[in-house]
A and B are shown apart, each in its own frame.
Chain A
């Protein structure tokens, strides 16, 4: 449904824009209905930039993002509005997502003025209440309040409800629970799972491997703007092939397992570069299929080391 084909993003930097910074390089991802893809990376990995490009908040420098076959960078006016009707996002910081001067439910009325000018008041109120109930919020508790009177979890759910008012097919969720408390974040995460079960495609952007692992069907590991490993979540997590994925897995603090236990569990590295042993470079692509639905980049990618098999 939504495809990223070799998408890149470069920024001009330095005085006079002489230098170029590559934030995202040759990234291909496919989002299918009812499927959640988690995009995992550390700061500077380009994960947020990818989300913004999908939402068309940032332009694409190379490659193409297509939605049902249409290149989204060519959409303008009415057709861009139609795209926004189908693809929406929720961002990391719930407090920065609301204009502090206005009440929180303004995010709904803004949608109404731009997308549903013809809907009568009663009908609209009904739709808003439905959306709120589906994200398990009590309408009386959240409507007509200022953002600072609501909790982070409530604010994030309001934003999800906002997206549901449209006829969305794709939701980009950029770190939406990283600023929430442990006792509420899992509920927001489960909510995403329910939306997925209802047929939405979700791009879940996170730095937290445990969350990505918990909720997503497909996992994409990003490093410095490039995909180093991607595939079905279980395969990536049970059989991490790229040293960077392994490094992330050994660094993430886990419950019930000490870092030293994890070190020993992941001590035996696969050794050979799956990319080269699978004959990856022959068609010029960045990733090679190490096993079905499990792609990996060359071990040398981005690092200073050269590939042992290259």
Chain B
């Protein structure tokens, strides 16, 4: 069991009180598992990704624990997390492409990064070239400035850099959303390649695009308003989702071949509750067609079949 998250709560401090961006989240990730983390904007998926590596200034660890390979991560303590970052847990941020320092050549940047971790650049250089080749980049990129590379090339370079020390957990946050469709596929497939080559043990791929994670992930976890809604193997989640939110979300996605005249899709009416002071019980109940009395109590996130977790009173 590579990653175990238990009862994790992370709140944002604001002037009007705590925003409960992540409220009592419990799940685990197996060795070698690529998990897609999907949900709409503001559902807490980015917060979850960040809280596994670095809480930013406004975030507060309000409870729960995170265990990676049997070691508990001190996620609330910025300084103590430093030893785990990059080596054990690594993140490709949402705007990773623009995080590259424009005045440094890629190679020099990698050298400085490694030296700050006490690793000699020369010893790792052959492996670096090997991995660049795997994602379709030649070692010439090391002598270039970020500006000289296209978005897809930069993103792949960032991916190689982030995984150079073989972290056991990689978090990829919306890494393809700024890319064109054809580069999107190459980048997504490179992620799978990293896992297959053993560069990373397991991966959390955060995205708003369920159909993208369906292509590459083993399991998909859906979040809604700071809570987990459903987690299942990718194929199961897409073809027979059980949580009403997942069902509606998936049926709202047009696919190539579905046409407005033939089969009119519909969205989910209403909007998610504010997380400043969320209502008790199931947070989807105001928008849920199946809601009944019991939904004012909070539904537990339970395993209904092997590997299939759902938080809904109507299921299981």
Chains A and B bind each other = yes
A21 at the interface (CB under 8 A from B): no
A13 at the interface (CB under 8 A from B): no
A209 at the interface (CB under 8 A from B): yes
Contact A254-B182, Cβ < 8 Å, known A182-B252, A186-B266: no
Contact B260 A248 (CB under 8 A): no
Q: Which residue of A lies closest to B182 (CB)?
A: A251
Q: Which of B41, B185, B250 contacts A259 (CB 8 A)?
A: B185
- Assembled-state Cα–Cα distance A228/B279 (Å): 52
Contact A253-B254, Cβ < 8 Å, known A181-B40, A190-B265, A214-B259: no
Contact B253 A42 (CB under 8 A): no
- Size category, B interface: 35 or more
Q: How far is the CB of B252 from chain A (nearest CB, A)?
A: 5
| Stretch in B94-102, B129-137, B205-213 touching the partner | B205-213
- Assembled-state Cα–Cα distance A253/B268 (Å): 22
Contact A187 B260 (CB under 8 A): no
Q: Mark B37-59, 1 if CB is under 8 A from A, else 0.
A: 00011000000000000000000
Contact B260 A207 (CB under 8 A): no
Contact A189-B254, Cβ < 8 Å, known A181-B40, A214-B259: yes
Contact A185-B267, Cβ < 8 Å, known A247-B182, A251-B184: yes
Q: Which of B41, B188, B189, B266 contacts A181 (CB 8 A)?
A: B41
Q: How far is the CB of B76 from chain A (nearest CB, A)?
A: 30
Q: Mark A218-246, 1 if CB is under 8 A from B, else 0.
A: 00000000000000011001000000000
Q: How far is the CB of A190 from chain B (nearest CB, A)?
A: 6
Contact A182-B260, Cβ < 8 Å, known A214-B254, A253-B184: no
- Size category, A interface: 35 or more
Q: Mark B153-196, 1 if CB is under 8 A from A, else 0.
A: 00000000000000000000000000011101100110000000
Q: How far is the CB of A289 from chain B (nearest CB, A)?
A: 23
B255 at the interface (CB under 8 A from A): yes
The residues of B that contact A182 with a CB separation of less than 8 Å are 40, 208, 210, 249, 252-253, 267
Q: How far is the CB of B7 from chain A (nearest CB, A)?
A: 27
If over half of A's interface residues share one DSSP class (helix, strand or loop), that class is named, otherwise mixed; here it is helix
The residues of B that contact A193 with a CB separation of less than 8 Å are 260, 264
A23 at the interface (CB under 8 A from B): no
Q: How far is the CB of B285 from chain A (nearest CB, A)?
A: 15
6 nearest A-B pairs in the assembled complex, by CB-CB distance: A214-B254, A183-B268, A42-B180, A181-B40, A187-B267, A251-B185
A residues neighboring B (CB under 8 Å): 42-43, 151, 181-187, 189-190, 193, 207, 209-211, 213-215, 233-234, 237, 247-259
Q: Mind listing 18 A-B residue pairs with CB under 8 Å?
A: A151-B271, A186-B252, A186-B267, A187-B267, A190-B266, A209-B181, A213-B254, A214-B258, A247-B182, A249-B256, A251-B184, A251-B185, A252-B256, A253-B184, A254-B211, A256-B238, A256-B239, A259-B185
Having A182-B252, A210-B253, one finds 16 other A-B pairs with CB under 8 Å, namely: A42-B182, A182-B253, A183-B248, A184-B267, A184-B268, A190-B264, A190-B266, A207-B181, A209-B181, A210-B258, A213-B257, A237-B257, A247-B182, A251-B184, A251-B185, A253-B211
